[in-house]
Structure 1
Amino acid sequence: MTDLQEWRNRNLSYYQDIEELYQFFVQPQSEVLEIGSGTGYLLESVKPKYGLGIDTNSQVIENSQKRFPELEFWVEKAELFQSNKEFDYILLANTVSYLENIQKALVNVKKACKTSTKIILTFHNPGWEFVLKLATFLKQRMQIETLNWLSYEDITNLLNLEGLEVIGKGKRMLVPRRIPLLYGLFNKYLAPLPIINNLCLTEYIIARVQPNLAEGKKNIQNFTCSVIVPARNEAGNIESCVTRMPQLGKHTEIIFIEGHSQDNTWEEIQRVQAKYGEQWDIKIDQQKGKGKGDAVRQGFAMATGDILIILDSDLTVLPEDLIYFFDAIASGRCEFANGCRLVYPVNSEAMPWLNRMANRFFAWLLSYLLNVKIKDSLCGTKVLSRENYLRIAANRSYFGEFDPFGDFDLLFGAAKLGLKIQDIPVRYVPRSYGSSNIQHFKEGLVLLKMCLYAAQKIKFR
């Protein structure tokens, strides 16, 4: 038994918690590199399609290879590592604390990245330095001669210097040893709470390569786009959805999904398709199921564009503003664009005071649950790449079919994949036709129920 194996057995709860963190963010059957792979348990736990672990200890690498023959392990320093392969995820579990030259190692990390690669780092909260040194003195923790005690700001700065940007962060674990009753109470229920969370031992960062501006400009010109328009009792707005639509990228298709309307919305969609079919690529269909979320997923299934956009057919969000969403995603500046109606002045007719307060509450709650700052969680305009939508859909089993609206399903899925989520300001105006399909009190209760569900699946796992 190696020293590392012995210390893992002695502090198994801590190592298993680290593994659970990485399992949450790393999608199975991905190509994964772990720098500082140690015993190999973490790399194996994320179930990669191809997994490569590097470590400086040849004996540890030999044991890891025997233990997990389906994975690959190299004896290599992070500062000298060179690979001609690009990975979906790169893991550094407390590795930055041991590196001799962090910047040189990050140069090599960046070379192993694709534009979509997520780099996930864990490190100790510097506030725990005295406690951990005491644990080492009492022989409850492995002896380490030198250690980098880095703050979140230190690591963020080092990442930025090498062209990498932080897109997510968090803290977890108050009690690293499995003490009966206290372990679950402190780590599951108390550790995620505001203020108390600052005291946690483990800090984590999700980072990615900063987008290439020149490549982003090309993508804005060359990417195609699908605009999905769910429509129920919106006959008077259908034509404007087309006539006010900007050209987005190389090609824009508009997909209307009619949802069991009581007016002549379906007939109007057919008329508009016939009238503008030579100018626009318009696809139409009638909804098979119920609810906006179902209509959005049906539209996404029909879409062929590189970028997928949801536009509510009430046109309270201006179609002209969709260009800002498209550019943000196509350029790579963000990976999930969330419409925000609370930057520009909002007419009280468009959003009454009570609705605005409820919106701010749910935005705060979601920001807390997802560890991402969101100012407006209820805007119907959401935009992401088709590639990332397919990844969210493939990973949907984690949350299940819980969202009748479709907005939260996408937000939760994006957060679990570690996508960079960013608010895009929109101008919000009163509707010019029809009345809202929203039942505010009833749907507010549904939203609250979904948030509580998310709390169990994300924050208080």
Structure 2
Amino acid sequence: MNLSVVIPLLNEEESLNELYRWIASVMHSNGFLYEVIFIDDGSTDKSWDIIEKLSAENSEVKGIRFQKNYGKSQALHAGFAMAKGDVIITMDADLQDNPEEIPALYKMITEENYDLVSGWKKKRYDSLLSKNMPSKLFNYAARKTSGVKLHDFNCGLKAYKKDVVKTIEVTGEMHRYIPVLAKNAGFTKISEKPVLHQARKYGTTKFGAERFVRGFLDLITIWFLSRFGKRPMHLFGAWGAFMFFVSFCFAIFLGIDKLFINPYGRLIADRTEFYIALTAMVLGTQLFLAGFLGELILRNKKDSRNYIIKEQRNFPD
């Protein structure tokens, strides 16, 4: 199979039929063997009814329905696990991503041998304050901290080699930073392609102020994971050793002062330096314990799937 198109969605009943017809037209005109995987992330409208109808009428349409809303990252995780294509395309269901871009993205993966190609919405039709400016801030911060030189990390339209999506783990709210996850996993041939961005035709954006905050928290998380995710003791152990060193220095100072300089002065327990040394020792111990716990958790890590699939359509048992 040439292509798997993975589409996470939440309450997009008005756009699904039009989106599928558009994708099918592009696929047929290019002679692709394909599948379209819709992941209903707990919609409360008629989105799943439409997916059921599409899957009954078209064998290439497959559907996954979550028990409740778990988030876009979990939806992508489920879609990636089920995808069978040699190239996987992700796109949003709101008709703002243009399916006409798919053939060019496919060629960049298969002919130019990129591991991942991210869309770049050079001209956006989002509200300046609600999404456009926050996206620019996210992208600037992500470039500086990750070293991945993309203009638009958050574009839903992306193309991947199959090996990439089967290797990376998209959890939490990390869908924004999939290129960084791919780079950290060793897939370094990453590029971008300017793509057409459509104005939203139906419904309203799911972007809110809370996503702005979560995005920056996720960026801090992925910076930490990229540097210390496989070796947490390197961070916590280093800081723990530093705190022990501080404690040791103050203890030596207090000992020398009490024995040789001022033996009849204040009690050691009455001095500020004693409490600094004690606090540094306690902090050093806690940091070492955090490092050990991180190493234990890492070595006992199991399946990170944290969602429940309620129903599926057109997948083999």
Q: TM-score normalised to the size of structure 1?
A: 0.46
Report the Cα distance in structure 1 between the residues aligned to 2:67 and 2:115, rounded to whole angstroms: 29
Q: Does 1:371 align with 2:140?
A: no
Match of 2:80 in 1: 300
Partner of 1:283: helix, strand, or coil?
Answer: strand
Is the 1:341–1:426 contact (alpha carbons within 8 Å) kept by the matching residues of 2? yes
> What is the identity, as a one-letter code, of the residue corresponding to 2:202?
Y
Q: Does 1:225 align with 2:7?
A: no
Alignment map for 1:262-341 (pairs within 5 Å): 262-275=44-57, 277=58, 281-288=60-67, 290-341=70-121
> What is the identity, as a one-letter code, of the residue corresponding to 1:370?
S
Partner of 1:230: helix, strand, or coil?
Answer: strand
Q: 1:459 Cα deviation (Å)?
A: 5.7
Partner of 1:234: helix, strand, or coil?
Answer: coil
Alignment map for 1:319-398 (pairs within 5 Å): 319-342=99-122, 345-347=123-125, 350-353=126-129, 355-393=131-169
Report the Cα distance in structure 2 between the residues aligned to 1:266 and 1:407, rounded to whole angstroms: 25
Partner of 1:235: helix, strand, or coil?
Answer: coil
Total equivalences in the alignment: 223
Pick one of 172, 197, 203 that aligns with 1:428. 197
Report the Cα distance in structure 1 between the residues aligned to 2:174 and 2:157, rounded to whole angstroms: 12
Q: 1:378 Cα deviation (Å)?
A: 1.3
Could you report, residue by residue, the CA deviation over 1:16-46 in whole angstroms, capped at 9, with x for unpaired residues? xxxxxxxxxxxxxxxxxxxxxxxxxxxxxxx
Is the 2:4–2:83 contact (alpha carbons within 8 Å) kept by the matching residues of 1? yes
Could you report, residue by residue, the CA deviation over 1:162-220 in whole angstroms, capped at 9, with x for unpaired residues? xxxxxxxxxxxxxxxxxxxxxxxxxxxxxxxxxxxxxxxxxxxxxxxxxxxxxxxxxxx
Match of 1:203 in 2: none
Is the 1:287–1:298 contact (alpha carbons within 8 Å) kept by the matching residues of 2? no
Report the Cα distance in structure 1 between the residues aligned to 2:118 and 2:17, rounded to whole angstroms: 25
Closer/same/farther in 2, CA of residues 406 and 249 from structure 1, 3 Å limit: farther
> What is the identity, as a one-letter code, of the residue corresponding to 1:447?
G
Q: 1:448 Cα deviation (Å)?
A: 0.3
Report the Cα distance in structure 2 between the residues aligned to 1:235 and 1:454, rounded to whole angstroms: 33
- The higher relative CO (CA closer than 8 Å, separation ≥ 6) is in 2
Is the 2:173–2:218 contact (alpha carbons within 8 Å) kept by the matching residues of 1? no
Report the Cα distance in structure 2 between the residues aligned to 1:346 and 1:229, rounded to whole angstroms: 20
Report the Cα distance in structure 2 between the residues aligned to 1:369 and 1:325, rounded to whole angstroms: 26
Alpha-carbon RMSD: 2.1
Greater radius of gyration (CA): 2
Alignment map for 1:84-99 (pairs within 5 Å): none
Q: 1:288 Cα deviation (Å)?
A: 4.2
Match of 2:179 in 1: 411
> What is the identity, as a one-letter code, of the residue corresponding to 2:22?
R
Q: 1:351 Cα deviation (Å)?
A: 3.8
Match of 1:237 in 2: 15
Partner of 1:339: helix, strand, or coil?
Answer: strand
Report the Cα distance in structure 1 between the residues aligned to 2:102 and 2:36, rounded to whole angstroms: 13
Q: 1:406 Cα deviation (Å)?
A: 2.1
Alignment map for 1:63-212 (pairs within 5 Å): none
Pick one of 207, 213, 218 that aligns with 1:438. 207
Partner of 2:14: helix, strand, or coil?
Answer: helix
Q: Does 1:253 align with 2:253?
A: no
Report the Cα distance in structure 2 between the residues aligned to 1:425 and 1:338, rounded to whole angstroms: 9
> What is the identity, as a one-letter code, of the residue corresponding to 1:448?
F
> What is the identity, as a one-letter code, of the residue corresponding to 2:213?
L
Closer/same/farther in 2, CA of residues 267 and 418 from structure 1, 3 Å limit: closer
**Post-superposition, which runs of at least 4 consecutive aligned residues in structure 1 deviate over 6 A?**
none
Report the Cα distance in structure 2 between the residues aligned to 1:423 and 1:353, rounded to whole angstroms: 25
Q: Does 1:458 align with 2:187?
A: no
Partner of 1:309: helix, strand, or coil?
Answer: strand
> What is the identity, as a one-letter code, of the residue corresponding to 1:296?
L
> What is the identity, as a one-letter code, of the residue corresponding to 1:287?
F
Closer/same/farther in 2, CA of residues 362 and 324 from structure 1, 3 Å limit: same
> What is the identity, as a one-letter code, of the residue corresponding to 1:363?
N
Partner of 1:384: helix, strand, or coil?
Answer: strand
Larger helix proportion of the pair: 2
Q: TM-score normalised to the size of structure 2?
A: 0.65
Q: 1:353 Cα deviation (Å)?
A: 4.6
Pick one of 202, 206, 215 that aligns with 1:447. 215
Is the 1:226–1:254 contact (alpha carbons within 8 Å) kept by the matching residues of 2? yes
Report the Cα distance in structure 2 between the residues aligned to 1:340 and 1:257, rounded to whole angstroms: 23
> What is the identity, as a one-letter code, of the residue corresponding to 2:64?
D
Report the Cα distance in structure 1 between the residues aligned to 2:19 and 2:174, rounded to whole angstroms: 20
Report the Cα distance in structure 2 between the residues aligned to 1:457 and 1:285, rounded to whole angstroms: 29
Report the Cα distance in structure 2 between the residues aligned to 1:333 and 1:425, rounded to whole angstroms: 18
Report the Cα distance in structure 2 between the residues aligned to 1:418 and 1:282, rounded to whole angstroms: 29
